[in-house]
C-alpha cells in the first residue's frame, strides 16, 4: 500500500507529510539468536503524513511486503504486573457492560490469548482468537476459547460473534477502514458490539515518539478513531484513554438503539485541534529528544554511571536505535524470559534478566514507558540496585 495518500479515517482529505524519521527497525518485536542476525535485520522508512481535517496519521512509506508476522515475534505485555491488572479490569468491565453470557467473542490479534481466555471465563462465553504471532497450542482451550496461529481470514466461515475485540492490532493494518467494513458485513442484522484498543496518537505524537514504530501503520486519537468507525457503519458507544493515557479505546456497536453505553471522552473538535498542534511540533520534538538522550548517555558513560535500559519492547528498540546506536549502555534488561540471551534488531544490544543488574554497579536506569515506573522502581529495590530512574 505504498503511495496511499487519502485519509483512511474521514476520506475527505489527502494526507500531508509532516515528519521523516528516516530508516527505522522493521521487525522490532523479534529477538534474534545472534548479534550478526540482529545487526542484519531489516530497516524501513518512516515518513509520517496527517489528515488536516481529522488528524489521522499514517506512515506514507509503509511497505507491507517487508513486515512478516510470525511466532518469532513477541510483543507480549502480560509479563508486567501493571499490565495484568489493567487487562483484568478491562475483562470485568466488558463482561459487566455487554451481554456475553453464552455468547461468542471474536478476538482479532489475540496475542498469546491471555485476554480472550480470561474474558471467556469471566463472561461465561466462548471465543475464537486469531494471531500470526500466537505461539501456544492451536485449537480448543479449557477456557472455552479456540486459538488459531494465523491472521483472522474474516471469510464467510467466520463464526457468528456477539463481541469483536481487537487490542493493539488495528494500527498495524494496511486497510483499517476495510477491516471495519468487513466486520460490519459479518455482523449482518445481528446485534454486535466491538472493542478496539490502540496506542493513543494524542500521547505518542505529543511526546518523544518512541512508540512511532514501523509495525504501526496508522496513528489514531479519539477524534479520528471515531471518524473511521462511524464511516464504516458502526455506532460509537464509548471512547476514552487508558493506561496512563497511553492507550485509546473505542467501544462500538451495530443494530443497537437507545442511549449509548458510555461517554465520548477526548474525542471532540477541541481535542482534534490540540492533536493537530502536537503533529505540527512532532518532527522538531522527536529530533530534540533523540539528541538530548544521546547527550545524556554520553554524560552518564563518561561519569562512570554504567547506564542501563530496562524494557526491551518496541519502545525500547526504537529508543536504542535512535539514542544508543553504538551500544554504549552497560546492559539492556527485560522481565520477559523469552528475550534473555537474545539480541535486539538493528542495534544488536543483548537482552539479559533484571537479576544481571545486581553487582553491575549501575547508577542510572533508563525506562521508556512511564506506566511501568512504580513496578520497575520496586524491582530495583528488591535487587538491591540503588540507581536513579530516568524516564525517556
Footprint on this chain of Zn ion (rule: CB under 5 A): 7, 9-10, 51, 53-54, 56
Nearer to Zn ion, 56 or 372 (CB): 56
Nearer to Zn ion, 7 or 120 (CB): 7
Residue 3 in contact with residue 17, Cβ under 8 Å?
A: no
Euclidean distance between CA atoms 297 and 329, whole angstroms:
7
Nearer to Zn ion, 120 or 196 (CB): 196
Reading the block at residue 76, the C-alpha cell is: 507480549
Give the residue among 325, 335, 323, 302 at the shortest CA–CA distance from 366: 323
Nearer to Zn ion, 55 or 307 (CB): 55
Supply the minimum distance, in Å, between the C-beta of residue 7 and Zn ion: 3
Supply the minimum distance, in Å, between the C-beta of residue 173 and Zn ion: 16
Euclidean distance between CA atoms 48 and 25, whole angstroms:
15
Supply the minimum distance, in Å, between the C-beta of residue 254 and Zn ion: 22
Q: Where would I find the H helices in the chain?
A: 35-39, 81-97, 114-123, 176-187, 201-204, 222-231, 269-302, 314-323, 373-382
Nearer to Zn ion, 115 or 282 (CB): 282
| Burial (Cβ within 10 Å: 0-12, 13-18, ≥19) of residue 303 | exposed
Nearer to Zn ion, 45 or 227 (CB): 227
Give the residue among 288, 341, 339, 292 at the shortest CA–CA distance from 316: 339
Supply the minimum distance, in Å, between the C-beta of residue 222 and Zn ion: 13
Supply the minimum distance, in Å, between the C-beta of residue 55 and Zn ion: 7
Supply the minimum distance, in Å, between the C-beta of residue 228 and Zn ion: 8
Nearer to Zn ion, 84 or 174 (CB): 174
Euclidean distance between CA atoms 219 and 198, whole angstroms:
8
Supply the minimum distance, in Å, between the C-beta of residue 49 and Zn ion: 11
How far lies 90's CA from each of 172, 227, 326, 358, 386, in Å?
A: 22, 24, 40, 35, 34
Euclidean distance between CA atoms 286 and 123, whole angstroms:
42
For residue 258, the tally of other CB atoms under 10 A from its CB is 5
Amino acid at each position: 500500500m505504498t503511495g496511499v495518500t487519502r485519509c483512511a479515517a474521514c476520506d475527505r482529505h489527502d494526507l500531508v507529510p509532516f515528519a521523516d524519521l528516516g530508516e527505522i527497525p522493521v521487525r522490532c518485536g523479534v529477538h534474534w539468536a545472534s548479534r550478526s542476525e540482529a545487526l542484519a535485520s531489516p530497516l524501513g522508512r518512516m515518513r509520517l503524513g496527517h489528515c488536516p481535517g481529522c488528524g489521522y496519521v499514517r506512515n506514507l512509506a509503509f511497505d507491507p511486503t517487508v513486515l512478516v508476522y510470525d511466532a518469532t515475534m513477541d510483543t507480549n505485555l502480560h509479563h508486567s504486573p501493571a499490565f495484568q491488572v489493567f487487562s483484568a479490569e478491562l475483562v470485568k468491565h466488558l463482561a459487566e457492560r455487554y451481554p456475553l453470557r453464552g455468547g461468542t467473542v471474536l478476538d482479532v490479534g489475540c496475542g498469546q490469548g491471555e485476554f480472550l481466555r480470561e474474558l471467556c471465563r469471566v463472561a461465561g462465553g466462548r471465543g475464537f482468537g486469531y494471531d500470526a504471532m500466537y505461539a501456544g497450542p492451536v485449537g480448543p482451550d479449557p477456557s472455552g476459547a479456540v486459538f488459531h496461529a494465523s491472521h483472522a481470514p474474516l471469510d464467510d466461515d467466520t463464526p457468528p460473534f456477539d463481541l469483536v475485540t481487537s487490542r493493539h492490532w488495528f494500527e498495524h493494518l494496511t486497510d483499517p477502514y476495510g477491516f471495519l467494513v468487513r466486520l460490519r458485513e459479518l455482523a449482518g442484522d445481528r446485534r454486535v458490539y466491538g472493542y478496539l484498543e490502540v496506542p493513543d496518537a494524542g500521547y505518542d505524537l505529543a511526546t518523544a515518539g518512541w512508540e512511532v514504530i514501523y509495525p504501526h501503520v496508522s496513528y489514531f486519537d479519539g477524534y479520528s478513531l471515531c471518524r473511521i468507525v462511524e464511516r464504516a457503519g458502526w455506532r460509537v458507544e464509548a471512547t476514552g484513554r487508558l493506561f496512563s493515557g497511553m492507550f485509546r479505546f473505542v467501544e462500538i456497536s451495530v443494530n443497537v438503539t437507545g442511549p449509548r453505553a458510555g461517554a465520548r471522552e477526548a474525542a471532540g473538535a477541541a481535542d482534534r485541534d490540540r492533536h493537530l498542534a502536537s503533529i505540527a511540533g512532532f518532527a522538531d520534538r522527536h529530533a530534540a529528544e533523540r539528541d538530548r538522550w544521546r547527550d545524556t548517555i554520553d554524560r552518564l558513560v563518561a561519569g562512570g554511571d554504567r547506564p542501563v535500559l530496562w524494557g526491551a519492547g518496541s519502545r525500547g528498540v526504537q529508543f536504542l536505535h535512535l539514542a544508543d546506536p553504538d551500544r554504549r549502555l552497560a546492559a539492556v534488561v527485560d522481565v520477559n524470559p523469552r528475550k534473555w540471551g537474545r539480541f535486539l534488531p538493528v542495534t544488536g544490544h543483548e537482552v539479559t534478566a533484571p537479576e544481571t543488574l545486581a553487582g553491575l554497579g549501575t547508577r542510572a536506569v533508563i525506562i521508556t514507558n512511564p506506566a511501568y515506573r512504580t513496578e520497575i522502581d520496586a524491582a530495583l529495590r528488591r535487587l538491591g540496585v540503588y540507581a536513579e530512574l530516568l524516564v525517556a
